[in-house]
Amino acid sequence: MGWYLLGSIMKDWNNITDTWLTVKEVAQYLKLSPDLIYKLAQRGMIPASKVGTAWRFKKQKIDQWMEANENRRRNRKRIGKRISYDFRK
Residue 11 lies in a domain: no
57 by DSSP, 3-state: which? strand
Q: Is 19:10 a contact under the CB 8 Å cutoff?
A: no
In the chain, the number of structural domains is: 1
How many CA atoms are closer than 13 Å to the CA of 71, on its beta-carbon side? Answer: 8
Residue 70 lies inside a defined structural domain of this protein: yes
pLDDT at 58: 95
For residue 10, the model assigns a pLDDT of 56
Q: What is the pLDDT of residues 3-54, one digit of tens each?
A: 555 555 555 655 655 689 999 999 999 999 999 999 999 999 999 999 999 9
Residues 70-89: tens digit of each pLDDT: 876 666 555 455 555 555 55
Q: 52: domain range?
A: 19-79
Give pTM, 2 decimals.
0.63
CATH number for the domain spanning 50: value is 1.10.10
Nearest in space to 42 (alpha carbons), one of 51, 52, 29, 55: 55
Binned at pLDDT 50, 70 and 90, residue 69 comes out as confident
Distance of CA 60 to the CA centre of its chain: 9
| φ, ψ dihedrals at 50, nearest 5° | -105, 125
Residue 17: phi and psi, rounded to 5, are -115, -50
Closest listed residue to residue 46, CA positions, set 13, 88, 18, 82: 88
